[in-house]
Amino acid sequence: MTTRKANTARDLALDVLLSVETRGAYSNLALTNALRHTRLDSRDVGLATELVYGTIGRLNTIDFYLTPLLKTPLHQLEDWVRNLLRLTVYQLMYLDRVPPFAAINEAVEIAKRRGAKASGFVNGVLRSFLRKKDDIKMPSRERNWVKRISLEHSHPEWMVKLWETTYGRETAEAICIANNVRPKVTLRVNSHRLTRDELLQQLLDAGVQAHASEVSPYGVLLDQGLDVAKLPAFQEGLCTVQDESSMLVAQALAPEKGMRVLDCCAAPGGKTTHLAELMGDEGEVFAVDIHEHKIELIFNVADRLGLQSITAQAGDIRDVVGEAGQFDSILLDAPCSGLGVIRRKPDLKWGKVPGDIAEIAGIQRDLLHTVAGALKPGGVLVYSTCTVAPEENEAMIAEFLALHPEFSGDPLQPHLPAEIMAGASPDAFSVQIFPQQYESDGFFIARLRRNS
């Protein structure tokens, strides 16, 4: 990988793409780190962000179009050349505001700076793409629906097949389309300190356009992209960043003042602090996370929000829970395959394999059985994941209830917004939220009660 300092949005995007492909970096972390070390203006920051997430998100489609234009297989090209072609084809296919000649000229200039001999090759391939792209045909939907959707919406075939088998073709395609839509920035009001309307007014006074979420009564959606950390309301602890679907998890648990609540896989602390806010910061939220370095993140966000009721400990919850005593309520936001947050982490699509779901389901099963023993009779356990895979969600809960007759499903309807539970029976105790429903993350939430 090149070590030269990025001086344009496209240079920076190329460096991040190389980090993701050759070093296995997470796109969001690599991009954040790269932006911290650059002086690009806000417009170029936006373009670099679009190029990184867009190119990774559309990788399958881009490579499909590039492959027939090359005499040398794509994977045998130099890493930077392959990724430069990809990010430029992304612009040519998906960004109307970038004229083709400008995108190609920029690519050629980058090629000259990184390896002059390749500039002619890059120029030739990209101009060939413009001439021939309409002649490159995808498989028909009638003959190979899975492969067509995989290429058209850029997802691994196994993922498309999983959703087709489970939810049907219409929903499967809708999930894939939603996964390619960039998410909006959402804030959660610190309800311990002010109302959502008061937060909206403060944002408006600061010149920030925003509106109330229809998914969560605590959510606010920003109408424009900006650096949230610079907002006075954020710095003063009046809000925090959290996806709308994620806000529903603490609501589903519905903790009360004075309770002792266990948050099992707590870092970075979004749901932990929401629980404390809903409890009026009275009682105890005991947060546990296996990553010791992330415990500080929980305390940092709790301090910024002015919450005192949170304690935290590093360790595997399966080792910690035995000595932690009994709890009134437990939240198990389990580690999962993450198939509900692909729009935030597009590289996740290409790093997962079907076996990952069975492997993580084994861990989820173990965690669920272990922590259930720490719940007081009459207490509530909420199990949640940010994935759209039945093996980790509905099937997991069905198996748990079959093995634990002391537990039963507890209706979600009194605790979640009517829109979220629309169409569900009054006694429904779980809900699968798809990313295409509310333009929020895909989430699964189940509410269980221990009867004895």
**Residues labelled catalytic:** 386
Instruction: Output the CA torsion sign for 85, 15, 23, 53.
Output: negative
Kindly write down the DSSP assignment for every residue of 255-324, as one continuous string: --TT-EEEESS-TT-HHHHHHHHHTTT-SEEEEEES-HHHHHHHHHHHHHHT--SEEEEES-HHHHGGGS
Contact indicator for 305, 268 with CB cutoff of 8 Å: no
At 39 the three-state DSSP class reads coil
> Using a CB cutoff of 8 Å and minimum separation of 24, what contacts does 142-146 make?
145/169
The greatest distance separating any two alpha carbons of the chain, rounded to the nearest whole angstrom, comes to 74
Tokens, residue 300: 């940092």
Triad 100, 344, 226: Cα angle to 5°: 75
Measure the CA–CA gap between 34 and 6, rounded to whole angstroms: 9
- Helices 42-57 and 9-23 cross at an angle (nearest 10°) of 40
Kindly write down the DSSP assignment for every residue of 118-181, as one continuous string: HHHHHHHHHHHHHHHGGG--PPPTTT-HHHHHHHHTT--HHHHHHHHHHH-HHHHHHHHHHTTS
CA nearest 60: which of 178, 180, 153, 140? 153
